[in-house]
């Protein structure tokens, strides 16, 4: 089944959206991410995609006594608020980070920067937690992998990273075209499909969804390995509703 993932991006405990990953281009949409999660559940969501932007930018935040950093507290609150499975990423750097995120409510965890820097960690995570609980995030700028909250661009091609991840046992990736993220200019269907076909991985597309047509076009490639799409700005700005997008994706 083709899956639509409403995005809940967390920054200092609030639900925000950025444009092209720029921390200075932030719009706050809610101070209550758990309420936002309930809203998407009521609209028919079958999954949520939650991102710890503070972690992605290298500022994981401080623990408060025995309590985890604020965005991980928000993850707990979202888990309590809804029964939906949660895909969670941002700032995951080691096995302990993965364990904590899973214990606090994530169904599966997205590994981004660490997947580029350390294949061994990916293999150990797969062995310890299983391939259904580990997703690799491949974020690309002009086809090249970006890391550290998209602040750095590596010399590795997205397709090469995807093939390397498939080789160590990864089953699915989130593929984001950074140039389109938050811009609602259209998702990069072609690159997403090419990545899926070249690697054999299940691909969740992300970045740039601006219309129902984007979703319908991606859904047509489910048999090519496109498993779903993450939607953020278009939902938060009312470009279309999640319920209408879900209907369109199933036609």
Catalytic machinery residues: 9, 139
For the chain, first and last CA: distance in Å?
12
Hey, is 204 helix, strand or coil?
Answer: strand
Residues in a beta bridge with 134:
109
Max distance between CA atoms of the chain, in angstroms, equals 50
Q: Interior CA angle at 115 toward 27 and 103, to 5°?
A: 70
Q: Residue 103 is encoded by which pair of tokens?
A: 């214990």
The answer to whether the CB of 33 falls within 8 A of the CB of 40 is no
Q: Which helix (H) or strand (E) holds 193?
A: helix 189-199
């Amino acid at each position: 089944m083709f899956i639509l993932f409403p995005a809940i991006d967390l920054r200092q405990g609030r639900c925000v959206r950025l444009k092209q990953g720029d921390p200075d281009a932030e719009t706050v949409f809610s101070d209550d991410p758990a309420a936002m999660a309930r809203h998407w559940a009521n609209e028919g969501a079958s999954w949520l995609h939650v991102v710890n932007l503070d972690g992605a930018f290298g500022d994981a935040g401080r623990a408060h006594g025995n309590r985890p950093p604020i965005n991980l507290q928000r993850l707990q609150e979202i888990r309590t608020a809804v029964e939906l499975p949660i895909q969670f990423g941002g700032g995951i750097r080691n096995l302990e980070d993965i364990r904590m995120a899973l214990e606090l409510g994530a169904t599966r965890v997205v590994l981004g920067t660490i997947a580029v820097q350390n294949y061994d960690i990916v293999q150990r995570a797969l062995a310890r937690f299983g391939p259904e609980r580990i997703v690799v995030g491949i974020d690309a700028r002009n086809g090249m992998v970006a890391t550290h909250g998209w602040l750095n661009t590596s010399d590795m091609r997205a397709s090469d990273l995807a093939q390397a991840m498939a080789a160590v046992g990864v089953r699915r990736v989130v593929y984001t075209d950074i140039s389109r993220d938050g811009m609602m200019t259209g998702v990069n269907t072609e690159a997403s499909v090419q990545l899926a076909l070249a690697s054999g991985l299940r691909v969740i597309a992300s970045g740039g969804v601006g219309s129902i047509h984007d979703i319908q076009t991606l859904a047509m490639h489910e048999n090519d390995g496109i498993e779903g799409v993450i939607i953020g700005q278009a939902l938060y700005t009312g470009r279309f509703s999640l319920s209408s997008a879900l209907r369109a994706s199933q036609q």
